[in-house]
Amino acid sequence: MTMLPDIDALCAAMTEVRRDLHAHPELSLDEVRTADVVARHLQESGLDVTRGIGGHGVVGTLRRGGNQPAIMFRADMDALAIEEASGVAHASRTAGVMHACGHDGHTAMLLGAARALADDPAVTRDIHFVFQPAEERYCGAQRMIDDGLLTRFPCGMAFGLHNAPGLPVGTFATRTGPMMAAAGIFSVVFTGTGGHGGGRPHLAADLTLALAEFTIGLQTVIRRGFAPLDPIVLTLGSVQGGNENASNVMPARVKATGTMRCFTQDNCDLIDTALSALAERVALVNGCDVKLDAQWEARPLVTDPEATEIARAAVRTLGRDLDEAPMTTGAEDFSDLTQAVPSSFMLIGNGVEKGAGGDALHAPTYDFNDEAIPHGIAYWTALARQVSQT
């Protein structure tokens, strides 16, 4: 495996950083302390540091002065509103907030890479190390872009990395093309005349029936509105209506909310049209009014073939296992960068066993596996060298 001579000391230092960040998690858009830690380490590595991009975003730039376009490496920093139950010594000290997705590990690995690459003469391109807030709210990347990330720090390619429970430590995985889904939310509200469900049901609008027809119609949209090989998810997550203590009263309002996922922007547009048509058709048939709100929060994450081949080549130089990542209906706002510049996204193994990296992302028992840190640093350094050779 290609590693720098001081990798053991560097990994030990980054493990301490990771555990400190884990003990002090901060929610999306509140990453004040985390940004302070990041900026301090980047400055100690001798990088040019810019803060306050899109909120608490931080960029550290390693300048090599070459004629080739710069490259961008990105990590996310925010935590989740989950009460931790991992039992580890470095568990969250903030009630109801924890790093349940490994962003503490992502940050530590990229900080370690910045430290290593600052002294690496094999790197001939400028590198922008981007530490992004608010990934969990699918808004941090776009906020940074809107604040001039790509104009102030132009790049030819961008690369992201995320840990993967269930994948052995030291194993990597990626794919070319659609990799992670676009994610959106929707709500539908049917309103009409309420009434006596037993004595005079014919004088009321049956809104529960309308909602039932809409629910069944969602699955018809999937089966008949899209090609059979297009993965589409339309799922209701909540339903409200009526009063459980008044079972003979037909409600004047019912509401349902749900999630939607797909892998192309064209299908996002088709889903919007199909949901609107379905809601209006159901309301017309049932003699009621309807209001549908649908919003896409994350775009499809689609990797670039050239960038992904460079990322694969970097893993091969390390002699590590490289798998073909499956498409997943999980979402990630690195997708905003993939829509703007040629980009690639890599998964890094977090372990298989429960309690040793195998706990699911967003689970209260999750903890980033520190054994992955040397592999992550090695990947970033190998990737920087690989890009420099192209």
Q: Using one digit for the tens of pLDDT, what is the confidence trace for 306-317?
A: 999 999 999 999
Class of the CATH domain delimited by 182-298: alpha beta
Is 128 annotated to bind a ligand? Reply is no
pLDDT at 88: 97
Predicted confidence (pLDDT) per residue in 62-88, tens digit: 999 878 999 999 999 999 999 999 999
pLDDT at 370: 97
**Residues 218 and 236 sit within 8 Å (Cβ to Cβ):** yes
Residue whose C-alpha is closest to residue 22's, from 373, 261, 339, 366: 366
Residue whose C-alpha is closest to residue 280's, from 219, 217, 232, 203: 217
**Residues 310 and 380 sit within 8 Å (Cβ to Cβ):** no
**Residues 64 and 47 sit within 8 Å (Cβ to Cβ):** no
Split at pLDDT 50, 70, 90, the class of 2 is: very low
Options 1.10.10.10, 2.70.98.10, 3.30.9.10, 3.40.630.10; CATH for 7-179+300-388 is: 3.40.630.10
pLDDT at 5: 44
pLDDT at 72: 98
**Burial (0-12, 13-18, 19+ Cβ within 10 Å), 156:** middle
pLDDT at 3: 44
Is 162 annotated to bind a ligand? Reply is yes
Q: What is the pTM of this model?
A: 0.93
Annotated domain spans of the chain: 7-179+300-388, 182-298
Is 24 annotated to bind a ligand? Reply is no
Predicted confidence (pLDDT) per residue in 224-243, tens digit: 888 888 999 999 999 999 98
Contacts of 86 (CB under 8 A, 6+ apart): 98, 359, 364, 365, 366, 367
- The least confident of 24-33, 189-198, 310-319, 361-370 is 189-198
Average pLDDT over residues 131-138: 97
State whether residue 95 is helix, strand or coil: coil
Mean pLDDT (the chain, rounded): 95
What share of the chain in percent tops pLDDT 90?
A: 87
Is 268 annotated to bind a ligand? Reply is no
Is 106 annotated to bind a ligand? Reply is no
